[in-house]
Amino acid sequence: DNKLHGKGTVNFNDGSVYEGEFKYGKKEGKGKWSDGNGNSYEGEWLDDKRHGNGIYKTKDGFIFDGCFKENKRHGKATITTPDETKYICNFENDQEIGDVEFFFANGDHAYGSIKDGTLDNYGRYEFSNGDIYVGNFKNGLFHGKGYYKWNYGEDYKVYEGNYFKGKRNGTGQIIHSDGRIFYGAFKDDNMDGEILEISPQGIQTKLLYENGKYIRILDKIDEIYDIKEIIEESSINTSIFTDPYIYKQMYEIEKK
């Protein structure tokens, strides 16, 4: 019946080429395929379909290295993007599921839940300079509740609060390694509006900021403040954050 069986090369009418193993006229075993337009696949086949381990390269520069099931991505895979970002994730029926781990070309590293190829819902982002973000994401941007720690060595600084489309927006607080705390409103990454400063000794001072610039003192309260109360009464959910350095500073101060 002239059906190919064994190894061979076939040039199809649509311009695609297959070189590899056949079984009774169908691609089965190991083989290489290209469509003539820059897309290619090399790996395992079953019943004329990509099935098993293989590497699929697109004309746009994406590389999928992982498992297939009946032509669909299924199982663990490593994807390399045109900008040399790599991420490891799982697929089910051609859809990304579960958590993902990113390795960026600039040295940044991230992991968390994925949607449409980007971090979404929750995750952790580690910058190559040592900065760390832990919290919510939306479309790959910091969005929702978040914790950001700048890496200044021992003289660290932490922001804990709300984010909107990648920027600090809403209620938040910045804690310095020397024990100072600035709590209040943020807009487009800057303190903006009434800010409560709490000294390492627990003294409160109300300040006015505009677009990150200090304007003036609004009020000074000669009272030792309980740091635990401001954390508990604020809208910030701190339960998911476990950095020991910041909480050592935050909980050292008690109302006298």
Query: pTM, whole model, 2 decimals?
Result: 0.77
In this structure, what are the phi and psi dihedrals at residue 25, rounded to the nearest 5 degrees?
90, -5
d(CA 45, CA 38): 20
> What is d(CA 201, CA 218) in angstroms, rounded to the nearest whole number?
19
- What digits encode the pLDDT tens for the residues 21-57? 999 999 999 999 999 999 999 999 999 999 999 999 9
Percentage of residues of the chain with pLDDT beyond 70: 85
- pLDDT, tens digit (0-9, with 9 covering 90-100), for 175-220: 999 999 999 999 999 999 999 999 998 889 999 999 999 999 988 7
Extents of the domains making up the chain: 141-256
| pLDDT tens digit sequence for 151-184 | 988 788 999 999 999 999 999 999 999 999 999 9
